[in-house]
Amino acid sequence: MSHNAYLPKLGRIAAIKDEVPGNRAIKTYQIEFVSGDGFEHDCGQCAMISVFGKGESMISIASAPHVTGYKQFSIMKTGRVTTALHDLNVGDIVGVRGPYGNKFPVKDWKGKNLVFIGGGVGLAPIWPVIQTALHHKGSYGKVSVFYGGRTSRDLMYKADLDKMREQADIHLSVDAKEDGWKEFVGFVPSNVKDKAPSPDNAIAITCGPPIMIKFVIQNLKELGFTDDNIYTTIENKMKCGIGKCGRCNVGKDYVCVNGPVYSWAALKELPPEY
Partner 1 sequence: MIDVAAIKAHAKALLEKGTVRAVIGYRNSTAGLLAEPFVFTGPESVDDLIYGPSCVQNLALYLVNDKKERAHHKSDDARPVAVVAKGCDARAITVLLQEKHFLREAIHVIGVSCEGTGVVDTKKLARKLGGKHAVEIDFDGGEAFAVTTADGVQSLPAAEIMAERCLECRGAHPQLADIAFGEAKTDRALHTPFQAVKHKMKEEQDNRWSFWARQFDRCLRCYACRSVCPMCYCEECVVDSIQFAVLPDTTAEEKANRIKWIERSPNRSESAMYHMVRAIHLAGRCIDCAECERVCPVNIPLRLLNTRLEMEAFETFDYNPGSDMNAPTLTSSFKDTDPNSFIR
Partner 2 sequence: MTKTMAMEKMLNKADLAAWMGKLETHQLFAPMLEDEGVWNYAPVVKAADVALDQPNTVRPPKDFVFPQRETLYRFEQVRGEAPVLTETLPDPQPSVVFGVRPCDSRGLVRQDIVFTKEFDDPYFQGRRAKTIFVGQACKVPPSPNCFCNSVGGSPSSEDGLDLLMTELDGKYHVKAVTQRGADLLAKGGALFKEASASDKAAVAKAHESAKAHPQRPIKELGKVAGALKQNFDSKAWDEMAKACIGCGICTFLCPTCHCFDINDEVTCSSPCKGERVRTWDTCQFPDFTMHTSGHNPRETLGSRLRQRVCHKFQYFTENHDMPQCTGCGRCISLCPVGIDIVSVVERLGQP
Ligand X SMILES: Cc1cc2nc3c(=O)[nH]c(=O)nc-3n(C[C@H](O)[C@H](O)[C@H](O)COP(=O)(O)OP(=O)(O)OC[C@H]3O[C@@H](n4cnc5c(N)ncnc54)[C@H](O)[C@@H]3O)c2cc1C
Asked whether position 121 contacts ligand X by CB under 6 A, the answer is yes
Question: Which one-letter DSSP state was computed for residue 179?
Answer: T
Which residues of this chain interact with partner 2, rule CB under 8 A? 1, 3-8, 10, 34, 52-56, 78-79, 82, 89, 91-93, 95, 210, 235-237, 239-240, 242-247, 249-252, 257, 271, 273-274
Q: How far is the CB of 150 from ligand X (least distance, A)?
A: 16
Residue nearest to ligand X (CB): 79
**Of these, 28, 50, 74, 144, which contacts ligand X (CB under 6 A)?**
74
Q: How far is the CB of 84 from partner 1 (least distance, A)?
A: 7
23 binds, among partner 2, partner 1, ligand X, none (CB under 5 to 8 A by kind): partner 1
**Of these, 78, 139, 236, 249, which contacts partner 1 (CB under 8 A)?**
78
Other Cβ atoms closer than 10 A to 158: 15
Asked whether position 16 contacts partner 1 by CB under 8 A, the answer is no
**Of these, 57, 102, 113, 131, which contacts ligand X (CB under 6 A)?**
57
Asked whether position 35 contacts partner 1 by CB under 8 A, the answer is no
What is the rounded CA–CA span in Å between residue 74 and residue 56? 15
Asked whether position 80 contacts partner 1 by CB under 8 A, the answer is yes
**Of these, 14, 83, 175, 239, which contacts partner 1 (CB under 8 A)?**
83
Asked whether position 249 contacts ligand X by CB under 6 A, the answer is no
Q: Roughly what angle, to the nearest 10 degrees, separates helices 210-223 and 188-195?
A: 10
Q: Which is nearer to partner 2, 119 or 199 (by Cβ)?
A: 119
Other Cβ atoms closer than 10 A to 25: 17
| Selection from 26, 104, 153, 83 nearest residue 263 by Cα | 104
| Selection from 31, 29, 30, 35 nearest residue 2 by Cα | 35
Backbone angle region of 261, left / alpha / beta, with phi > 0 → left and psi within -120 to 50 → alpha: beta
What is the rounded CA–CA span in Å between residue 274 and residue 193? 25
Asked whether position 238 contacts partner 1 by CB under 8 A, the answer is no
What is the rounded CA–CA span in Å between residue 265 and residue 199? 16
What is the rounded CA–CA span in Å between residue 15 and residue 38? 17
Site for ligand X, rule CB under 6 A = 46, 55, 57-60, 74-76, 78-82, 121, 124-125, 235-239, 260
